[in-house]
Amino acid sequence: MDQLRCYAEYYNNAATEQENTCIAEVNLNWAAATSTDFVIKTDGPTRAQNQYVFNLLNYTSASTASVRDEKVFFLPAMSGSKDGGESFVNCKFAASNDIAITKLSETEVLFDLIMQQKSLDKNPACNSLFAMFGGGDNGKAQKFLFKATKESN
């Protein structure tokens, strides 16, 4: 119960100081009819916050490497109910981050980051929610390129 309370407080407050308080991430079913269905069960172990940091770095050559992170997550969207009131629809989304790292010299590294999000739902309420949070171009990738320089001591 303490772990669930921790999750609920984190999601309710969106408090950044609590980011590492709860070890694992949980997906909630806001459309659940019973309390036992509120926490979505998934196969495999629970996923830690910021797990991509611990993903396996693949060395593709002596001077290049890459890492990929994929995640499926759920968000609630408000939807009208049959009795005219409001109810929640559980919306399923996917996100991926690909990072390619290239060594330019002994002191410089180039990072090529590609971030992509998409809606896995056909429900119009879910697609409206996705568009509201900047996902208007469903599946369109955002690309970033930056260089890091090692500071000398």
Both 87 and 116 in a single domain? Answer: yes
Give Cβ neighbours of residue 15 (< 8 Å, ≥ 6 apart): 9
DSSP code for 54: G
Judge if 135 and 148 occupy the same domain.
yes
Same domain, 25 and 15: yes
- 112 and 130 in one domain? yes
* Same domain membership, residue 26 and residue 54: no
Element spanning 114, H or E: strand 108-119
Same domain, 89 and 145: yes
The verdict on 112 and 62 lying in the same domain is yes
Per-residue pLDDT of the chain (153 residues), as tens digits, is 666 666 666 666 654 454 555 545 667 777 777 888 887 765 444 555 555 555 678 888 999 999 888 888 788 887 766 776 677 788 888 888 899 999 999 999 999 999 988 888 888 888 777 777 666 566 678 899 999 998 876
Same domain, 142 and 121: yes
pTM comes to 0.61
Give dist(CA 150, CA 93) in Å, integer: 37
| Same domain for 66 and 42 | no
Identify whether residues 37 and 21 lie together within a single domain: yes
Q: How many domains does the chain have?
A: 2
Range of the domain at 7: 1-48
Q: Are residues 77 and 150 in the same domain?
A: yes
Q: How far is CA 51 from CA 33, 105, 147, in A?
A: 31, 29, 23
